[in-house]
Copies of this chain bind each other. A is one copy, B any other.
């Protein structure tokens, strides 16, 4: 694993590689891919990418902002929204709306999966149903649509909430 050293300068602060010791492989890959797509590598974008790193998070925009602000206190809400929107457009991050409230951002965009949600506490787990969920929709039920995607949300009660209720 190569450590990626870098220096960020803003008018008011200097952030160096020792503040954010290194980028894991997954993220340097992501940043690399984005750079070749013409992205300017700003401190804000790096920090948002770092927060999303690790394939098992499903954070709201405000949660991303809160975590990003621990690394880069002056980052704005608007920039977090902008960056998340761009990542979604580029297909690097998925947007999921499991609860009719805040959208959640899922960096696990390169492995097809579905979600299992606890109706009590909101916990989300990645799950992998067998078979192709698209195949379950017969042609006669497509009404002339070009169907390109399926989202499946399983709902139930997680072990913790089952225990608490008992």
Contacts and interface: CB of A to CB of B under 8 A. Distances in A.
Contacts of A129: 136-138, 141
Contacts of A99: 97
**Copy number in this complex?**
2
Contact of A150 (B118, B131, B143, B154): B154
Contacts of A2: none
Determine the main DSSP class of A at the interface with B: mixed
A72 interface: no
Interface stretch (A37-45, A74-82, A156-164): A156-164
Interface of A: 95, 97-100, 103, 116, 118-119, 125, 127-131, 133-134, 136-138, 141-159, 162
B137 A154 contact: yes
